[in-house]
A and B are shown apart, each in its own frame.
Chain A
Amino acid sequence: MHTVLDLISSGVHDAKNQLFLAESLLVRAEAEHGVALDEARYAIELAAQRLSRVLAAYRFERGIGRLSISIVPVSELLEEAALVNRRHCEHLGLTLDVDDHADELRAFDRELVLDILSNALQNASRFARARVLLSAQIEDGFLCLRVEDDGPGFAAAEMDEQSSPGIGLFVARVLALQHVREGRHGRVELRNGGILGGGVFELYLP
């Protein structure tokens, strides 16, 4: 007996396997022909992230989503999020800097948080003029993961929590909320200004 979720999961799973194969073939083509196909590979990874995100959103919306908490050094999280997005930023002529003020071990869902940061970085890269900054610090016991850019910033409607968000932001908010520690929930905040003067995306994890 298959549930709708089984069908969707299995479809997403197959698609991601196919996307991995496509990426591997591009990797081989790069090696054989000496070409750089970073943007094509990035597009493949974004497509896979979208699929995962849709599935995660569906799970949490139905109340059957579960976090997979592990202990992660914050520095490693930042390093990996930057690695996934650096070449794309470079391709757009942007500098991606990383600043770790947290330097701690924290408990959270590594893959989901990576996905949220990656989405925020990709979003920032669309609007940045020259710089994107990924940073981490501890604020009032929360781990604050911040993505800033030097672009025009978020429109007022985007920052309004009552408005209907895009799926990336929707999932980020849902997932942030799932992280609970000592009665305190995670959250997402959007604002303008920050160090670079543009949009600021903040993920607070308890």
Chain B
Amino acid sequence: MNTGDGDFYRSLRFLVIDDQPAAREGLRICAQTMGAFAVDLSSGYQDAIARIRRAPPDVILCDYLLGNDRSGQQLLEELRRFDLLADEAVFIMVTAEQSYEQVVAAVELAPDDYIIKPFSPDRLKLRLDRTMRRKRFLEPLFVAKREQDFDRAERFVRDAIETEAGRNYRFELMRQEAEVALLKGDPAAAEAAFLAILETHPFPWARAGQARALLGQRRLAEARSIMDEVVADAPDYFGGHDLKADICLEMGDYAEGQRTLEAAAARTGRNYERKRRLADAALLNGDTETARQAMADVIRNDTMPGAVSIADHLMLVRSHVEAGDLLAAERVLAEITPQRLETASLDERASSLALRALMRPDTERERIAALRASWLAIPLCARSRVDIARAAFAIGDNELAVAMAAALFASDEIRRMFKIVRDLFEANDMAAAFRELQRKAALQRIASGADGPSV
């Protein structure tokens, strides 16, 4: 690829994103001077997403501060979350804000590069040329990952790291090696790869990577102690807060999980993915009011097309149910129409039927009776099992409730759900049955010699 040729950038689609018209114009001049021809302009977050959906650009030049409490970093994370940006596309953050460096040095999801204003077109071109060369070099890896051929991805990384051309990309390749190992389901290999990176410098994203690898191996206490440090050392690395909270919830430390997410959510007001996490943690922690508010906010304000799902509505229903507000729960449940349910997953269908039965036990009793055999047979997510157990108690089918709880105990999922399930059993005068399940699970663990959940 000859990026030195002015014509190279002529054939690429550029998108400049900045909420300030004058700054937008400045970036456009810069892009055109370095050879760009097709330069599209966007005034901010929502508009940029719409444009990128319509016509994915090859190069995005995005200001860090986008106004309305939105940042370029958030846009980048959203684009990745909805898979709107191919690995081959270039995303360069532009900022006059020196503090952005703190962010970019910490996060996993960094842009391809960032450049601090003011800069000349020559300098932008230098940075873009380098990014283009790197992307070109890594292209076979992008393709292999997209096709989920992780063995091929792994082979590419191992071979590339030995080549002369791969020398400048050694760290990028080590990082990819770790990520591919995680995708492959080999957390021990991922841990080794992250440790190799950490020998050079304790990067927050690499320590978080190590914690993810430990979480994958169920070494929760070690993962937790790493993330406690990361969150303290890099307070602007919000993905680090999310991961720490996740580990806390796995350990059954709901209060710290919620507190961690609350602190991060307060500083990223319009990150609705984090609000969802907060609702989940708050519900596990028994703080139904926070869960209700967070989910109501998500459903009302996450304006990204297709972002608000049936799962979100179900979370709000659960939050209302746990808060004892069945009227509100029923209202939200009514918004999930039979047509919407047709496209829903098995879990979502099971949950919405169970929650419906909870509101109207008498009219739904027969339907539940008909579904019970299949619910006992199929794998369901933990939330759905709790919904079914709750409905089962409401219709007097204690046996179904116990079976759902037993299924949770049989997997590691009981760690997260422990408090909710115990409270549910206690509220239905079934505390003894719950203790019996607990006892059996403990005996089972001893018999198998596994280091299972110690709840």
Contacts and interface: CB of A to CB of B under 8 A. Distances in A.
Interface in B78-113: 96-99, 101-102, 104-105
A45 B118 contact: yes
B23 A21 contact: yes
Contacts of B155: none
B219 interface: no
Interface in A91-113: 105, 107, 109, 111
A19 B117 contact: yes
Contacts of B203: 69
A105 B168 contact: yes
A68 B102 contact: yes
A83 interface: yes
A28 B29 contact: yes
Interface string A65-79: 010111101011001
A73 to B, nearest CB: 5
Interface string B5-48: 00000000000000010110111011001000000000000000
B25 A111 contact: no
A68 B244 CA distance: 22
Contacts of B101: 68, 109, 111
A81 to B, nearest CB: 11
Contact of A16 (B30, B104, B117, B167): B117
A109 B97 CA distance: 15
Interface string A21-53: 111110110010000000001001100100010
Nearest to A55: B98
B119 to A, nearest CB: 7
Interface stretch (B121-129, B372-380, B439-447): B121-129
Interface string A1-24: 000000001001110110111111
B200 A71 contact: yes
A68 B33 contact: no
Contacts of B30: 24, 27
A31 B96 CA distance: 24
Interface string B117-148: 11111110010001000000000000000000
A20 B126 CA distance: 17
A56 interface: yes
Contacts of A68: 101-102, 104-105
Nearest to B115: A111
Given A20-B117, A48-B117, A27 B29 contact: yes
Contacts of A19: 117-118
A191 to B, nearest CB: 30
Nearest to A107: B201
B116 interface: yes
A16 B23 CA distance: 11
A20 B130 contact: no
Where chain A touches its partner, the secondary structure class is helix
Contacts of A75: 168
A109 B118 CA distance: 18
B170 interface: yes
Interface residues of B, number: 34
Contact of B122 (A13, A24, A83): A83
A161 interface: no
A23 B171 contact: no
A9 B200 CA distance: 31
Please classify how large the interface on chain A is, using the bins under 10, 10 to 19, 20 to 34, 35 or more.
Answer: 35 or more
A52 B169 CA distance: 29
Given A20-B117, A27-B121, A56 B98 contact: yes
B123 A13 contact: no
Contacts of A20: 23, 26, 96, 117-119
Nearest to B32: A31
A16 B96 contact: yes
Nearest to A73: B168
Contacts of B99: 9
Contacts of A9: 97-99
A21 B22 CA distance: 7
Nearest to B63: A17
A190 interface: no
A174 interface: no
Contacts of A27: 29-30, 33, 120-121
Contacts of B20: 17
A57 B445 CA distance: 58
A84 B200 CA distance: 29
A80 interface: yes
Nearest to A17: B96
B118 A48 contact: yes
Given A20-B117, A20-B118, A13 B168 contact: no
A28 B30 CA distance: 8
Nearest to A109: B101
Contacts of B116: 16, 52, 111
Given A105-B168, A107-B200, A83 B126 contact: yes
10 closest A-B pairs by beta carbon, nearest first, are A24-B26, A68-B101, A16-B96, A20-B118, A68-B105, A20-B117, A107-B201, A71-B171, A24-B29, A73-B168
5 contacts: A22-B118, A23-B26, A23-B118, A83-B126, A109-B101
Given A55-B98, A68-B104, 16 more contacts: A12-B96, A12-B98, A13-B97, A16-B116, A16-B118, A17-B23, A20-B26, A20-B96, A20-B117, A24-B27, A27-B29, A31-B33, A44-B118, A68-B101, A69-B203, A105-B168
Interface of B: 20, 22-23, 25-27, 29-30, 33, 96-99, 101-102, 104-105, 116-123, 126, 130, 167-168, 170-171, 200-201, 203
